[in-house]
Chains A and B, each alone.
Chain A
Amino acid sequence: MTKSFTLDGRIIPFEDGETIIEAAAAAGVYIPHLCHHPDYTPHGSCKLCSVKVNGRICSACTFPAEEDQEIVSESGEINADRKRITQMLFVEGNHLCPGCEKSGNCQLQAVAYHLNMVDNHFPHFFAKRELDASHPDVLIDHNRCIFCELCVRASREKDGKNVFDIGGRGINKRLIVNAPTGLLKDSDLEVTDEAAHICPTGAILIKRTGYLIPIGQRQFDQQPIDKVSLTTGQGGHEQ
């Protein structure tokens, strides 16, 4: 007999070792997320995939599926709180969508659309963050980094390079680059690296590709993130 749990009243089968989000995705149920990517070690930092498991809040991307769990994901309360967590990310960094070439392909933006977010709610930090345009093909705009560490994981786990890491502590965290100068141009990063393409926001961009597809015709202009996520098996893919 297959094992199963209940998610918003639906019975979801799972196999031993699967996390809640994996089992849900396999059954065609989207749970909002940003730091999660099925190809990489679960992280559990963005907290957008928070669900109530038998009354207790857990991250669906790290919490193991277990028999007879009663899980609530799409409740008014949880979605309202997910929206607030997304708004935290929007005021922490500097996310000015009209001037960002990732707009329409950005998972942060798409999750915010999905959660019906129309404002940023909190006071903005207006943190001063840097731009690293030194690399010939890849650009980092630290204003848009949400510390999901997907680039850190992709570089380590897929590219075998360790180009990125996270320095600092608390609200002063920052993405750091493995080069004596700290600049991307002096690192091992190549434009073909997975780490250069994995960023869910506009923090890491491939140069000269930003406007190949006009605004209005991009991934999340055409399909909401819940549909994209389930068809691509992840938050979205680079276009």
Chain B
Amino acid sequence: MSNKIRIATTSLAGCFGCHMSFLDIDERLTKFAEIVEFDRSPLTDIEHCGECDIGLIEGGVCNSENVHVLREFRRKCKILVAVGACAINGGVPALRNFIPLEECLGESYLDGIGVENPQIPGDVELPLLLDKVRPVHEIVKIDYFMPGCPPSGDVFWKVLTDLLEGREPSLPYDLIHYD
């Protein structure tokens, strides 16, 4: 085991846009790689989290699997950061919160245009949908937030360098955006 800072990341009900934005820290990535090692993340294909220093959560919580993953992150990460609008308030996926789940599933699998062999998938391997998409702070305790859709590379850089250098993360005015 190296003594590098371990970071895990995941995308729950999100679009991976925040992860893409993370890569926008560009050449600073190489600097980053010297002190950081990635644990569970779409960037590594590690399936389950080991003990980590920082967990980054993109996306809100829309199904049972999201709940399990989020809880694993909370268990394994000393610091948990909600990344992006969807993690913070449900974001665009939460637009379905105002339509009953029955109607959402019905439209997709039963009576929507172009549906063949209408049936609601019932395989036990599939995660079930929650009736509402929830921000992550309503399921587990969250330590810090990175607003934005997505947060810019500079936001990632600022919050992570603050954390790595032992400072309380804070964002200057021009880095706070919700869009």
Contact = CB atoms under 8 A, between A and B. Distances in A.
A169 interface: no
Interface stretch (B33-41, B62-70, B82-90): B82-90
A51 B133 CA distance: 37
B88 A215 contact: no
Contact of B82 (A103, A119, A215, A224): A119
B147 A90 contact: no
B6 interface: no
Contacts of B89: 90, 95-96, 120, 124
B90 to A, nearest CB: 7
Given A99-B92, A119-B88, A128 B98 contact: yes
B94 interface: yes
B73 interface: no
A90 B137 CA distance: 15
Contacts of A114: 173
A35 to B, nearest CB: 21
Interface string B99-142: 00000000000000000000000000000000010110110001
Contacts of A211: none
Interface size class of B (residues with CB under 8 A): 20 to 34
Contacts of A100: 179
A126 B95 CA distance: 10
A94 interface: yes
Contacts, number: 71
A76 to B, nearest CB: 14
Nearest to B17: A98
A118 B138 contact: no
Which DSSP category, helix, strand, loop or mixed, fits chain B's interface? Answer: mixed
Interface residues of A, number: 27
B173 A224 contact: yes
B50 interface: no
B179 A124 contact: no
A113 B179 contact: no
A121 B92 CA distance: 19
A114 B134 CA distance: 26
A118 B171 CA distance: 9
Contact of A116 (B134, B135, B138, B173): B173
B32 interface: no
Interface in A83-101: 90, 94-100
B85 A98 contact: yes
A103 B171 contact: no
B149 A124 contact: no
Interface in B120-176: 132, 134-135, 137-138, 142, 145-147, 149, 170-171, 173, 176
B138 A123 contact: yes
B173 A97 contact: no
Interface of B: 82, 85, 88-92, 94-95, 97-98, 132, 134-135, 137-138, 142, 145-147, 149, 170-171, 173, 176-179
Pairs of residues from A and B, 6 with the lowest C-beta to C-beta distance, nearest first: A97-B178, A98-B149, A119-B145, A103-B179, A118-B145, A126-B97
16 contacts: A90-B89, A95-B89, A96-B90, A96-B95, A97-B85, A97-B149, A98-B92, A109-B178, A113-B173, A116-B170, A116-B173, A118-B88, A118-B147, A118-B176, A120-B88, A126-B97
